[in-house]
Amino acid sequence: MSICCAQATRASTYAGAHHNGLACLRNTAKAAYGAVEIPEGVIDLLTGLRDYLQDKCEPPVYVSDRRFMKSIQMLQVAAFADGRDSVSALSPPSKHCRRPLQHGM
């Protein structure tokens, strides 16, 4: 069990389980931001995708700076959850971030 989850388990007698789970998630995300590297090639790939969406799509899709940074942070958390120390352009998102396909969509 991770340190964060162990602390959340001990603290469950003092606060609701929802709060502890959220605190554990926030602590994990903060740990991921510091522990997972984002190679320059991945940044270039994501920047190119953002430019393509804004300049070449009809209608254009605007991706704000805030959303762009959140997507990078999500990739860091996904890599951290998979035990990786770097985001890779070739690895799929973590199994924790993928939704199963639903038929009829």
Secondary structure, 3-state, 47-64: HHHHHHHHHCCCCCCCCC
Query: Model-level pTM?
Result: 0.65
Cα 53 to Cα 92: distance, rounded to the nearest angstrom: 21
Which segments within 1-93 are labelled E, that is strand?
none
Give the angle 48-49-51 at the CA atoms, nearest 5°.
65
> Of 87 and 97, which is predicted with more confidence?
87
For residues 15 and 63, the answer to whether their CB atoms sit within 8 Å is no
Lowest mean pLDDT among 21-30, 33-42, 90-99: 90-99
Taking CA atoms, 67 is separated from 14, 46, 48, 102, 103, in Å, by 35, 12, 15, 26, 28
> What is the rounded average pLDDT for all residues in the chain?
78
pLDDT in tens, 45-93: 999 999 999 999 999 999 999 999 999 999 999 899 889 999 988 866 6
Does residue 19 have a pLDDT over 80? Answer: no
